[in-house]
Structure 1
Amino acid sequence: MSDHVTLWLVIAGLALGSFGLRFVFLGLVGNRAMPAWLLRHLRYTAVAILPALVAPLVAWPAATGGEPDPARLGATFVTLGVGIATRNVFAGLVTGAATLFILMAWLG
């Protein structure tokens, strides 16, 4: 393990960076009106986060040593299809989880 001074300097630097990033948006811009084009783009931030978190787990799952898995790929396509067809995130998540459970039991 590195020495304690380096560790605490890294922790302090990360804390200051995290605070600074949040302060820019909440402290400086928080009480001002944002332009319409920026608000339109910010609406899609939440929609982009879930696929960005899930995509590596589907493409290179740790459970299979990084090899693509038919059960996970099948559940991904079912989730995507149900999500697009119903426009309901909850329905997509539930059917995707059920599909993953069934395919993992069926395929082994």
Structure 2
Amino acid sequence: MITTVEIWVAIIVIGLGSFLLRFSFTGLVGGRNLPAWVLRHLRYTAVALLPGLVAPLVVWPAATGGTPDAPRMVAAAATILVGLATRNVLAAIGAGAAGLYLTPYLVG
């Protein structure tokens, strides 16, 4: 069993660690100009991060006990295809939402 003191120590240590990680980049480097190669890599951070967050939710959704299902696969495919075709984020989101909510009605 974990005591109240141990919980608070863990919360404080994790909070300090999180702060130091963030401060090391924003606080220490925030006022300086970064090299071009760093800026080029930072431009792709969201593009690399978002698929890593979304893909497990599509392939192993907790709502279905970890088994893939048609509505999520159709929504992911529609989002990717419309996004690539139109280069419009809102259109891609709309296509994914439509695929997610309409597939159960169309498939049965």
Same fold (TM over 0.5): yes
1:36 — aligned with what? 36
The 8 Å contact of residues 83 and 89 in structure 1, kept in 2 or not, is answered as yes
Q: How far apart, in 1, do the equivalents of 2:2 and 2:106 lie?
A: 48
Q: How far apart, in 2, do the equivalents of 1:107 and 1:46 lie?
A: 34
1:75 — aligned with what? 75
- 1:94-105 equivalences under 5 Å are 94-105=94-105
Q: Percent identity?
A: 58
Q: How far apart, in 2, do the equivalents of 1:75 and 1:45 lie?
A: 23
TM-aligned CA deviation for residue 46 of structure 1: 1.4
Number of positions where the alignment pairs a residue of Structure 1 with one of Structure 2 = 108
2:84 — aligned with what? 84
- Kindly provide the CA deviation profile for residues 62-100 of structure 1, in whole angstroms up to 9, marking residues without a partner as x: 111111101111111111011111112221111110111
TM-aligned CA deviation for residue 5 of structure 1: 1.2
Q: Which consecutive residues of structure 1, in runs of 5 or more, have no partner in the other structure?
A: none
2:63 — aligned with what? 63
TM-aligned CA deviation for residue 27 of structure 1: 1.2
Root mean square deviation of aligned Cα: 1.2
Q: How far apart, in 2, do the equivalents of 1:61 and 1:23 lie?
A: 34
Q: How far apart, in 1, do the equivalents of 2:60 and 2:33 lie?
A: 42
Q: For residue 2 of structure 1, give the secondary structure of its aligned residue in structure 2.
A: coil
Q: For residue 66 of structure 1, give the secondary structure of its aligned residue in structure 2.
A: coil
Residue 51, structure 1, aligned to residue 67, structure 2: no
Q: How far apart, in 1, do the equivalents of 2:22 and 2:72 lie?
A: 36
* TM-score, structure 2 normalization: 0.93
Q: For residue 102 of structure 2, give the secondary structure of its aligned residue in structure 1.
A: helix
Mean Cα displacement is larger for which, 8-17 or 46-55?
46-55
